[in-house]
Structure 1
Amino acid sequence: MIKVLLADDQSLVRSGFRMLIDSADDMETVGEVDNGRDAVAVVKTRPVDVVLMDIRMPVMDGTEATRMIAELGIDTKVLVLTTFDLDEYVFAALRNGASGFLLKDALPDELLGAIRSVAAGDAVVAPSTTKRLLTHFADLLPKATQERGKRLEALTEREREVLEEVARGANNQEISQRLYMAEGTVKTHIGRLLSKLDARDRVGLVLIALEEGVGD
C-alpha cells in the first residue's frame, strides 16, 4: 500500500486528491497539511512513501520542504504539484530532490500513475519539459566552462549510452531494446550512474546529463 501525504494550502484541493487516492486499491492518504513545515514534521514521525507537494504555500513553500525532506535521507519521495509547467519554484524543487512534477489539472489516471511511478523510484518529468525548464532558467545553472563534462569522466562508454537514453526519457524496457541489453543489466547501469554521479533518482540523472551537455 502506497502511503501518500497531501501538502496543499487549499482544503478543497486536498479533499479532491484524498477522494481520488483513497479510491485506489493500492494507495491511501495518511495525512493532510497546509504548509511545507508541517509536511517535513509529518515525514519525520510516520512512514510516508510519497508527498504530493504544492509549491506555493504559507510558512514554508514546497521547494524548501522538498530540500529538507531530501536531506533526511529517508525513502520518502516528493511529487511536486504546480499550476504552470515553467515555474522557477518547480525547477528549484527538482534541484532540491523532488522526483518529478505534475500539473494540477492532470487527469485522475495521470495523477495516480505518477504517484505509483514515483513510489517505484521512477521519474515523472518529461525530458522535453525538463530541458525547457533548464533553458528558461539557464542563469540558475553553472556556466559552461572547461570543467563541463568533468563529472562524466568516471563513466564507462556503456554508462554514457545509458545516461543519454535516460536523458531522452526512455524507461528501462526502452533502453533495453535500444541498446540490446537485458533489463537487469540496464538496472545495474542505472544504479552505477546514481552512485557515480551522486544523483538521488532519475530526475537527478536527467538534470546532470543536460547540465553536462549530454545530447547537445
Structure 2
Amino acid sequence: MSAPAKEAGVLRIALADDQALVRSGLKALLGGFPSLQVAVEAGDGQALIDALAATPVDVILSDIRMPGLDGFGLVRTLRERGIGTPVVLLTTFDDEALPLRAAEAGAQGFLLKDASPEDLFEAITRVAAGETLLAPVPTDPVRARFAYRDQAAPSDTFSEREVSILRLLAGGYSNKEIARAVFLSEGTVKNYVSEILDKLGTRDRTRAVLKAITLRII
C-alpha cells in the first residue's frame, strides 16, 4: 500500500516506540495539529529505518529505550547512511547521561514523554526548521516553578549556537562535556558562556538558565 501524498505545508512525522499505546497516544496528540501528518509508525528502530526507504518524512520522534535497535542506534544508523532527517528522542530524563549520549549520536532534540501537545508541536516545528534542542523543552509547570525574578529583556539576540549551549547548560553539563557535544574547543565554549551571561545580565550559569527558561529563550 503506497503512502498518502504529502499535503503542501504539512510536516510528515515518523513515530518509533515499542509500546503500541504510546504510539497511539502520540498519534492522537499530533492529530490535533493540521500541519502535522503521521506517515510512519514502527515498534523499533530497524523497522522504522526499513519503512523510511519507501516513505520519507520530515521529522522522526523516537523513544530511546526500545528492544533491538534503540533510539541511539536509530540515530547513529541514519547518520552513517547519510540521512539527515531531524530526530527528536523521547525520554523520561531519569538518567543525566542520556541527553549528552543522544547529542553525540546525532539527535537534534529531546522531549519529555509527559510534555504538553503544545510543547510537542513546538519541538517538531523547530527541529524541522533546522534548530537543535539539546535539552527537553520545559513544560509550562516547569517554567512556572523556576520563574526567575529578573525578567528584563536580554541585551542582544541569541544565535542558534548560543541557544544550543544554553540548553546543555540547563542539562547541568560542564564546559568540557558541552565542547564534546557541539564539536568546539573548551575555551570557545567558555567564551560562549561568558557572552551568554553578559546578554542575560546574570552572574552565574544557574541564574542564566533560570532566566532563559522564564523568558522562553529555551
Q: Which residue of the partner structure matches residue 92 of structure 2?
A: 83
Separation of aligned partners in 1, 2:75 and 2:69? 10
Pairs within 5 Å for 1:52-71: 52-71=61-80
Displacement of 1:38: 1.3
Q: Which amino acid aligns with 1:59?
A: G
Displacement of 1:129: 4.7
Q: 1:134 aligns with which of 173, 188, 205?
A: 173
Q: Which residue of the partner structure matches residue 115 of structure 2?
A: 106
Q: Is contact 2:91-2:112 (8 Å) kept? A: yes
Change (3 A) 1:76 1:148: closer
TM-score, length basis structure 2: 0.60
TM-score, length basis structure 1: 0.61
Q: Which residue of the partner structure matches residue 44 of structure 1?
A: 53
Change (3 A) 1:148 1:3: closer
Change (3 A) 1:149 1:89: closer
Change (3 A) 1:64 1:133: farther
Change (3 A) 1:123 1:85: farther
SS of alignment partner, residue 31 of structure 2: helix
CA deviation string 1:157-192 (max 9, x = no partner)? xxx9xx938x95xxxxx9xxxxxxxxxxxxxxxxxx
Displacement of 1:64: 1.0
Q: Is contact 1:5-1:52 (8 Å) kept? A: yes
In the alignment, structure 2 segments of 5+ residues that lack a partner are 1-9, 136-164, 200-218
Displacement of 1:133: 5.3
Displacement of 1:88: 2.6
Displacement of 1:114: 0.5
Separation of aligned partners in 2, 1:54 and 1:128? 24
Displacement of 1:89: 3.4
CA deviation string 1:10-48 (max 9, x = no partner)? 111110111111221111000111111112222233211
Q: Which amino acid aligns with 1:62?
A: G
Q: Is contact 2:40-2:55 (8 Å) kept? A: no
Q: 2:25 aligns with which of 16, 36, 52?
A: 16
Q: Is contact 1:77-1:98 (8 Å) kept? A: yes
More deviation, 92-101/118-127? 118-127
More deviation, 39-48/62-71? 39-48
Q: Which amino acid aligns with 1:13?
A: V
Q: 1:117 aligns with which of 122, 126, 129?
A: 126
SS of alignment partner, residue 41 of structure 2: strand
Q: Is contact 2:63-2:91 (8 Å) kept? A: yes
Q: Which amino acid aligns with 2:168?
A: T
What's the RMSD between the two structures over aligned residues?
A: 3.4
Separation of aligned partners in 2, 1:149 and 1:90? 19
Aligned length: 155
Q: Which has the higher helix share?
A: 1
In the alignment, structure 1 segments of 5+ residues that lack a partner are 153-159, 169-173, 175-216
Separation of aligned partners in 2, 1:53 and 1:84? 14
Q: 1:164 aligns with which of 180, 192, 199?
A: 192
Q: Is contact 1:85-1:103 (8 Å) kept? A: no
